[in-house]
A and B are shown apart, each in its own frame.
Chain A
């Protein structure tokens, strides 16, 4: 008996010594995995959900085509919040209660983030949210991740475009036309602070109801204030509003600058159809994060995005949508975190997401799920640089990068027209007060 005991202990010690560089989690489990896409798929902001669904599908393909997560296949499930907090809460609860193998959640826009983030955080599911609300700038929700800057930086970038943008003298009188919802109004104060401190005047601040059927009186008020530029987002309402501007202004458009959310195929089509492509290209300016739309990560993303058309016909249209790229990266990083920790327990792999995004000294840079898994199995620590570029999470799980100035071409592709220098960016941020 004692010899058998000694043999068993020796065997155990030997096995432990052999496993020195492999992940020591409790295993990746079995069964399918699901990524929940919680966002508006109906209602006024119905254009948002599809962009995030278009992120999940190619990510799932990328993972599943390369062995899944420890053999577990990933699929995407939609949960419609209708863009209303009251509808978002039951959607989030249903998602958590009814979805087995829920590995991550993406979406959670400014329409519903305030209500659903606490729910998902309590359920300990890593989430990648597309909200720019300032309340998340220093969030204590451990499972919250934001891969896009807070709205305040979008506002600063728009001011930068107005003052330093190419092809025009600095604009002096701005009309602020944003929806009267919380998310849209987050742009107003930072834009006002920065623009006025840098010598501009806010001709009018015009919060509008995004569900109104017409804006004639609002446009009349705006025109009476004589702005030389319009700052706007107005998702769902931009076409109606801008068409009315053109009509009441004698067929003449006023230059309009959009947030990064206006780099979107739905927004492009709506405004193009309303005011015509010629005026759109001539008078529109946008801001966006500095994507390259090239490289190994983007190439794989694009291939899988096109392949996703069999499930979602419009998926390929989102090839340059920033949120689509970022959420795709978020899902890939989550899967890599699971592999790296050899765990399907979110409390174990959630912290690893930050490590994989930020990297550590000597980390191997990988651009695809396949390369990431190979490096992990080779015992290396990794840094994932995906289709959306490099990420740098701060202590509040917020990651951000610099802005570029953009417009569209006639086919709706993003075209870079300029970039704010670090000095200009610093000037604007100082003026804005952040």
Chain B
């Protein structure tokens, strides 16, 4: 029982990391209709930026902010320079997936001569263990959970109470109608890439901090888990991504405690497959998970 309670605590950390990343990813898809397979590479690029700042003596928490800013700008430029021109030319849905895959591979291979293939670690003292019953987490892990909670609340507030959030929801529902109603959809899309890119960058630093040691290959590895959480909750549904992150994060750690840790990812994806069979649209979406927005 002690192990399960401890695993529950670890699951809180895992789900926090996944939630930050998955919400950004699914918002990108939901509003821009773009499955951005380069998301993992933008995450790891941000992680490396924070690493070099950390090596220069800057606190990792400042590096996290820098990673978020970098992710925002990188994602914004990625859309403006690469994705948007292809979309204007009428590239098909599948074609855009291939484009993003190509971008992902290009970023990963461009990173190798810059950062090398050696794994890196942040110079950060995680702090002593904070115990609450059978749950034992470090100070940094508690901060990560806190950051995730704040961000989820901020996303909720953005989507619910702000004009930008409402414009985002309108653009996601029907971009043509939204434009006709006077919503500057291009500016909304730019804002989406900036905001989700910031989430992406922040998630990269958080994930790298969570892993203690990271390398370029972690980018692609992160993406698989993010995709699973996003699809589980319903593609394009931020609240669904949050639920998906909770499920994936908890299930992976609890299954490692109950069964064998080598299968924890298998269990998580098994649950995903089961949900997709029983509810193909995901937990929250009302339509097919990959149906176009609008």
Contacts and interface: CB of A to CB of B under 8 A. Distances in A.
Given A220-B6, A236-B119, A248-B136, A208 B261 contact: yes
Given A206-B261, A248-B136, A314 B10 contact: no
Interface in B72-101: none
A217 B256 contact: yes
Nearest to A267: B119
- Does more than half of chain B's interface fall in helix, strand or loop, or is it mixed? helix
A209 B117 contact: no
A243 B121 contact: yes
B139 to A, nearest CB: 11
A389 interface: no
A247 B3 contact: no
A297 B108 CA distance: 38
A211 interface: yes
A42 B215 CA distance: 10
Contact of B253 (A46, A217, A240, A247): A217
A403 B88 CA distance: 63
Contacts of B265: 209, 212
Interface stretch (B188-196, B205-213, B238-246): B205-213
A180 B262 contact: yes
Contacts of B261: 206-209, 215, 217-218, 221
Interface in A259-315: 265-266, 269-270, 273-274, 314
A42 B217 contact: yes
A57 to B, nearest CB: 16
Given A213-B210, A224-B3, A240-B213, A207 B262 contact: yes
Interface in A180-231: 180, 206-209, 211-218, 220-221, 224
A312 B231 CA distance: 42
Which of A211, A214, A221 gathers most chain B CB within 10 Å? Answer: A214
Contacts of A221: 3, 256-257, 261
Contact of A213 (B3, B112, B126, B218): B218
Interface string B197-235: 000000000010011110111100110010000000000
B129 interface: yes
Contacts of B7: 216-217, 220
A26 to B, nearest CB: 41
Nearest to A216: B10
Interface string B107-119: 0110010001111
Contacts of B10: 214, 216-217, 220
Contact of A266 (B117, B225, B264): B117
B13 interface: yes
B215 A247 contact: no
Which of B112, B119, B121, B253 gathers most chain A CB within 10 Å? Answer: B119
Which of B17, B256, B260, B261 gathers most chain A CB within 10 Å? Answer: B261
Contacts of B215: 46, 236
A270 B121 contact: yes
B169 interface: no
B120 interface: yes
A47 interface: yes
Contact of A247 (B118, B126, B217): B126
B117 A239 contact: no
Contacts of B117: 41, 46-47, 50, 266
B106 to A, nearest CB: 13
B212 A244 contact: yes
B3 A220 contact: yes
B174 interface: no
Nearest to B138: A247
B213 A250 contact: no
Contacts of A224: 2-3
A207 B257 contact: no
20 contacts: A42-B108, A42-B109, A46-B216, A207-B261, A209-B264, A209-B265, A211-B217, A213-B17, A216-B13, A217-B256, A220-B3, A220-B10, A236-B217, A239-B121, A240-B212, A240-B213, A244-B212, A273-B213, A274-B212, A274-B213
Given A216-B13, A220-B3, 19 more contacts: A41-B117, A42-B108, A43-B217, A44-B221, A47-B117, A212-B265, A214-B10, A216-B6, A217-B7, A217-B10, A217-B261, A220-B10, A221-B3, A221-B256, A239-B212, A251-B128, A273-B119, A273-B121, A314-B116
Interface of A: 41-44, 46-47, 50, 180, 206-209, 211-218, 220-221, 224, 236-240, 243-244, 247-248, 250-251, 265-266, 269-270, 273-274, 314
Per CB-CB distance, the 5 closest pairs between chain A and chain B, nearest first, are A239-B213, A273-B121, A216-B10, A180-B262, A243-B212
